[in-house]
Amino acid sequence: MPTEALTRRARRAARPGPGPTAAPGLSARDRAYQDLRHRILTGRLAPGTTLLETELAALLGLSRTPVREATIKLAEEGLIDIRPRHGITVRTVSPEDVRDILDVFSALEIRAVELVARRGLTDEELAHLQQMLSRMERLTAAGDIARWSDMDDDLHSTIVALCGNPRLLRTLGEYWGQQYRARLLILPLRPAPVQSDLEHRAMLAAIAARDVEAARRTHQQHRDRADAQQVELLRARLGSGAA
């Protein structure tokens, strides 16, 4: 298992934070939130795990109040279920859930790309993105799917970050967290992403040309295909082995 990639991703998983540092100065609620989110996304809190508020508080070394507030947030993000009297359960990722999540996620991402295309790219931004694409193509050729997947995440989030709509970014981040574990699960099953590389090139060209309609169309095609594949692989993964 590429633990290094996991770590790298894990750091991104706790997105708004400054880094992996011990989080000084942060409120206990935020620490609880980030810590729990991090543990869930990296699998250190496995799907299906059930804990009581008291146990969570003990686990994190805090009182129930901030932990409770954090769990409410996580429940609204769809990462856990709160069942009163039955504890707090880490949600599993069923193919049906993932399909629903990706339906929303892709709609948002497509809109973000449209906004970026409308706005256009600076030369630096374009050069940077092209460089990322080249690196990804080399990784594809080398068969390093894990690192490619990392960069794919990076590429997408780098592009959408340029859209200039903070609410859109926020909601995108929520749904990103919901589909992240599914992505990890199917990672070893993914074929060489030759098609994705091509689609990325087309998308970037459309964005650079400030052709909103082409950007929408190419990105939608990309997502439709990639999402269907992801759901299919997940179904295979869950059908064959354990979660």
Partner DNA sequence: TCCCTTCGGGCTGTATACATTGCGCGGCGG
Partner DNA sequence: CCGCCGCGCAATGTATACAGCCCGAAGGGA
Task: Give me the 36-75 binding string for DNA, x by CB under 7 A, dash otherwise.
Answer: ----------------xxx-------xxxxx-xx------
Contacts of 73 (CB under 8 A, 6+ apart): 33
The region of 11-19, 38-46, 62-70, 196-204 touching a copy of itself under the rule CB under 8 A is 62-70
Q: Minimum distance between the CB of residue 231 and a copy of itself, rounded to whole angstroms?
A: 14
Q: Minimum distance between the CB of residue 175 and a copy of itself, rounded to whole angstroms?
A: 8
- Residue 20 touches DNA, criterion: CB under 7 A: no
Contacts of 117 (CB under 8 A, 6+ apart): 206, 207, 210, 211, 212, 214, 215, 216
Beta strands in the chain, from DSSP E residues, in sequence order: 50-51, 80-83, 87-90
Neighbouring C-beta atoms of residue 166, cutoff 10 Å:
8
The region of 25-33, 37-45, 111-119, 207-215 touching DNA under the rule CB under 7 A is 25-33
* Dist. CA 151–CA 136, nearest whole Å: 7
The region of 135-143, 147-155, 161-169, 228-236 touching a copy of itself under the rule CB under 8 A is 161-169
Angle CA 214–104–203, to nearest 5: 20
Q: Minimum distance between the CB of residue 195 and a copy of itself, rounded to whole angstroms?
A: 21
Using an 8 Å Cβ cutoff, are 187 and 213 in contact? Answer: no
Using an 8 Å Cβ cutoff, are 154 and 206 in contact? Answer: no
**106 vs 196 by CB, closer to a copy of itself:** 106
- Residue 88 touches DNA, criterion: CB under 7 A: yes
Neighbouring C-beta atoms of residue 164, cutoff 10 Å:
12
User: Residue 98: is it exposed, middle or buried by C-beta count within 10 angstroms (0-12/13-18/19+)?
Assistant: buried
The region of 36-44, 52-60, 96-104, 202-210 touching a copy of itself under the rule CB under 8 A is 96-104
**Contact footprint for a copy of itself (CB under 8 A):** 65, 68-69, 72-73, 76, 78, 100-101, 103-104, 106-108, 110-111, 115, 165-168, 171, 175, 178
**Contact footprint for DNA (CB under 7 A):** 27-29, 52-54, 62-66, 68-69, 82, 84-88
